[in-house]
Amino acid sequence: MPISKFHPVENLHRAKRSVTLALLFACFTLVGVWAQEIPQAFKEKAETLVQLQPKTYEVLDRELYEEKRDTSLLRYFAHLSAENDYPVGQSYALNLLGMKYRNISQYEKSVNLHEQALEAAEKGNSTDFKIFSLNMLGVVYRRTDAIKTALDYNQQALELAEQVEDPSNHIKRSINVALNGIGNLYQTLEQYDLAIMQFKRALKLEEELNNKLGLAINHQNIGHCLEEKGDLEGALENYRKSLAYNEEIDSDIGRVICKNSLAQIYLKQDMPYLALVLLEPLQDEAKKIGDFSITSLVYINTGWALTKLENYEDAEYHIQEGLQMAQNRNIPSNIVYAYEKMSDLEKTRGDYKQAYEFYKKANKYDKQISSATNLRYMNDIIVRYENEKKNNQIAVLAKENEIVRLRLKKNQTTLLVSALIVGLISSILYILYRQYQSKNEKRVLTLEQQMLRSQMNPHFLFNSLNSIKLYIINNEQKNAVHYLNKFSKLVRKILEASSQKEITLSEELETMELYMNIENIRFSNEIDFKIEVEEDINVDNIKIPSLTLQPFLENSLWHGLSPKEGEKKIQINVKHKDRGHVSIEIVDNGIGRTMAEVNKENRVLKRKSLGIRITKERLANFAKDYQNKFDVDILDLFDENGDPKGTKVVLDIPTI
């Protein structure tokens, strides 16, 4: 299966990518204008490679190593490869161009180029370049905080690379890039121990390959994680190792990143002079590289060092310069960092009012970043959920088709039997027909119940998932993790119950208690929820359709308690009614149905509550298997003055 069919955003970008590719080739038709500037020696080398069409990254990189930093030569080679049906060469050049744009913070152009490179790799059936393109897309999306999408790309690259038998050095290196990318994503989510585990795994593999660039990158990343954990000495040791490797391979950007990180540690250790010695020469070096993400950090840290040395005017200039770069290139984390350092500067100056204003800006922007990151992650989860929901709907349609087929078959049999009924034979055939009809009706009934369950479960899951999304928007990460854990337990119970026609009342009550615990978090734990079961009622022996009570609890929450001020209560009472029946009461002290209807009419967005109607239909079908029937009554409660004081739902459940 081509890679583009299974990564999560491919369909969303396909049209855009095609348009971009067309524009790129339209530009390449102007090759005659700039081809004259291409050295003749390179033209000959490029033409030879296009004729020979090598398939591996190692060969192409070895032959084009000296020219691969020249974007004009790369564009020429990409155009020549496309013209001569050499998609592997085209993928190589487009990926390198994408990396160039990524390193100068032009992320949209970078994504377009890497996506075109992935298409070319698929066209050329090159696993090597598929893996390379997927990894590069993961890096770009990580830079833009699209965590879930980046993680998907890196995991796809890792899975594809690990399937290769006898992998080349480049594929081994790609495995390390994927591990490093996954580690960086854990680092973004502040899961530093998990990130370090990925970096150390990659570090070991890089040592086997003797890849000094990979060693430098992983030591730098481990150092950053240790710095965030407060282990400054451990961070310092790893930054120095990374700098040593970058010096060996003569990497300008590597040197700038490492020296800035070392200076940051010195500032945290209150050694501003030592930090400034490193930072001042880095300003011009960082500008030459063109990566404004690191350049803005260098300027902000220089301002921090000058603040500590009480050179406030120069400190403000440098921090504001770094802030301007971050704002112009939309680098959110650097914007927050600059506001924090401006707040520290004003506090040191003694202007606490201005310091507080900068602190509020930093805090507000940080919350926006966290919310945006979490929402991107959650939206990816919701997209997957919606796909699963569509699959459920397809299954429901298939069951409906089966019902129609059975009914048609039954009608055909009826016509046939009616035509053959004569005398005594007609009586025998009629009896046989009735048996057949009864069997068919039972099968149709089973299918209808399965269909209703399939409609019920997505309805319930969608509401729960929306609750999670609302909670994450509030940016309370620890509680969000707790919330997600409870949700996973609830989903497991729903999945277990969905395969059964009926469950015990004890299991239903347990599931409802878990559901209310989850919903109560969204209500700041202000709902007093209780379950009371009368003595001598064995809830393990009473059968009930799964998730029967949930729509009524949901109705109480949304329409009764949500708009209510003050004390909020919901109680489930299980009582004896008579022989063969128990009553389940769901009592709330909400605003009552009359006020709920008024509120509903006043809302701009009106929700249709399908859950209770579906539940009544399920109970009606389920009751056909019992001699007694299920009854559902909804009663309004009033106080002694005749004012609404809540709602009571009463379900009569047969026990035999």
Rounded-to-10 torsion of CA 602, 603, 604, 606: -120
Closest C-alpha among 548, 550, 584, 590 to residue 570: 590
Q: Is residue 165 part of a domain?
A: no
Per-residue pLDDT tens over the stretch 79-125: 999 999 999 999 999 999 999 888 887 888 999 999 999 999 999 99
Q: Is residue 427 part of a domain?
A: yes
Closest C-alpha among 597, 598, 589 to residue 639: 589
List C-alpha distances in Å: 505 to 178, 242, 315, 538: 48, 62, 69, 9
Q: Is residue 377 part of a domain?
A: yes
Q: Is 395 helix (H, G, I), strand (E, B) or coil?
A: helix
The mean pLDDT value for 600-604 works out to 58
256, 293 contact by CB (below 8 A): no
110, 96 contact by CB (below 8 A): no
Residue 21: predicted pLDDT:
45
Residue 3: predicted pLDDT:
34
611, 551 contact by CB (below 8 A): yes
Q: Which range, 376-390, 452-466, 529-543, is most confident?
A: 529-543
Total number of domains constituting the chain: 2
Per-residue pLDDT tens over the stretch 48-89: 998 999 888 888 888 888 888 888 998 999 999 999 999 999
392 or 538, which is more confident? 538
DSSP calls for 332-394: HHHHHHHHHHHHHHHHHHT-HHHHHHHHHHHHHHHHHHHHHHHHHHHHHHHHHHHHHHHHHHH
Closest C-alpha among 644, 648, 642, 641 to residue 599: 644
Q: Is residue 18 part of a domain?
A: no
Q: Is residue 556 part of a domain?
A: yes
Closest C-alpha among 54, 51, 96 to residue 72: 96
Edge-to-edge strand ranges of the sheet holding 568-578 = 527-533, 568-578, 581-588, 644-654, 631-638
Q: What's the CATH code of the domain at 576?
A: 3.30.565.10
185 or 626, which is more confident? 185
Out of 449, 482, 499, pick the residue that ends a domain: 499
Strands 503-504 and 543-544: antiparallel
Q: Is 588 helix (H, G, I), strand (E, B) or coil?
A: strand
Vertex 638, ends 633 and 643: CA angle to 5°? Answer: 135
Q: How confident is the model at residue 33 (pLDDT cuts 50, 70, 90)?
A: very low
User: Is there a single domain that holds both residue 541 and residue 611?
Assistant: yes
Q: Is residue 646 part of a domain?
A: yes
Rounded to 10 deg, the angle between the 192-209 and 212-229 helix axes is 160
How far apart (Å, rounded) are the C-alpha atoms in residues 95 and 390?
A: 35
Residue 30: predicted pLDDT:
40
The mean pLDDT value for 410-439 works out to 72
User: Is there a single domain that holds both residue 375 and residue 432?
Assistant: yes
How far apart (Å, rounded) are the C-alpha atoms in residues 378 and 371?
A: 10
User: Is there a single domain that holds both residue 533 and residue 649?
Assistant: yes
Out of 478, 499, 520, pick the residue that ends a domain: 499
Least confident stretch, 38-47, 101-110, 210-219, 418-427: 418-427
Residue 79: predicted pLDDT:
92
469 or 16, which is more confident? 469
Q: Is residue 640 part of a domain?
A: yes
User: Is there a single domain that holds both residue 540 and residue 577?
Assistant: yes
List C-alpha distances in Å: 135 to 107, 116, 174, 251: 15, 14, 7, 21
Query: Which domain covers residue 619, as residue numbers?
Result: 528-656
212, 249 contact by CB (below 8 A): yes
Residue 303: predicted pLDDT:
93
Residue 119: predicted pLDDT:
93
Residue 458: predicted pLDDT:
61
Residue 422 has pLDDT above 50, yes or no: yes
User: Is there a single domain that holds both residue 576 and residue 651?
Assistant: yes
Cα radius of gyration rounded to whole Å, the chain: 33
List C-alpha distances in Å: 293 to 106, 250, 472: 11, 20, 28
Residue 260: predicted pLDDT:
93
Closest C-alpha among 201, 296, 294 to residue 256: 294
Closest C-alpha among 162, 91, 130 to residue 7: 130
User: Is there a single domain that holds both residue 489 and residue 540?
Assistant: no
User: Is there a single domain that holds both residue 487 and residue 590?
Assistant: no
How far apart (Å, rounded) are the C-alpha atoms in residues 459 and 654?
A: 26
Q: How confident is the model at residue 29 (pLDDT cuts 50, 70, 90)?
A: very low
Q: What is the largest CA-CA distance in the chain?
A: 114
Average per-residue pLDDT for the chain: 79
How far apart (Å, rounded) are the C-alpha atoms in residues 126 and 56?
A: 8
Residue 530: predicted pLDDT:
93
Size (the chain), residues: 656
User: Is there a single domain that holds both residue 532 and residue 655?
Assistant: yes
User: Is there a single domain that holds both residue 376 and residue 495?
Assistant: yes
Per DSSP, 584 falls in state E
User: Is there a single domain that holds both residue 409 and residue 467?
Assistant: yes
Residue 626: predicted pLDDT:
59
User: Is there a single domain that holds both residue 415 and residue 459?
Assistant: yes
User: Is there a single domain that holds both residue 551 and residue 480?
Assistant: no
How far apart (Å, rounded) are the C-alpha atoms in residues 188 and 373?
A: 10
Q: Is residue 425 part of a domain?
A: yes
List C-alpha distances in Å: 633 to 274, 576, 653: 78, 16, 12
Query: What element of type H or E holds 12?
Result: helix 10-28
Residue 258: predicted pLDDT:
93
